[in-house]
Amino acid sequence: MLAKLTSKNQLTLPKSVTDKLGPVQYFEVLLQAGQVVLTPVRIQRGDAVRAKLAELEVDDGVIAQAMAFASKAAKPAAKAVKEPAATAKTAKKVVRKTARQAT
């Protein structure tokens, strides 16, 4: 079967191929020995969030710093800021909850 690459680098897969794959929206694309290899990937939203955080190098420490900064800005100066360990725990809970909601 032939498939034509458009001027916008778009490629339409033949229906006979996509019917056998089922409901897939994403493909991993590899170039191996001059051949383009498409592998169907089913992405979960939580996985996408975790992958983006990893890509941006956002770890527990960065999240804890952001939470501490946000809590300082939201509270009057007279109130104490949470301990860093407690803030890190809170940040982890927020990330988990966000990932669960995204799925």
* pLDDT value of residue 37: 94
Whole-number Cα distances in Å, 37 to 22, 28, 29, 30, 75: 18, 8, 6, 5, 53
* pLDDT value of residue 58: 87
Six token digits for residue 9: 């680098």
Q: Is the pLDDT reported for residue 6 higher than 90?
A: yes
Which comes out higher in pLDDT, residue 93 or 55? 55
pLDDT digits (tens, 9 = 90+) for 56-96: 888 888 888 888 888 887 766 555 555 555 666 677 777 77
Q: What is the pTM of this model?
A: 0.41
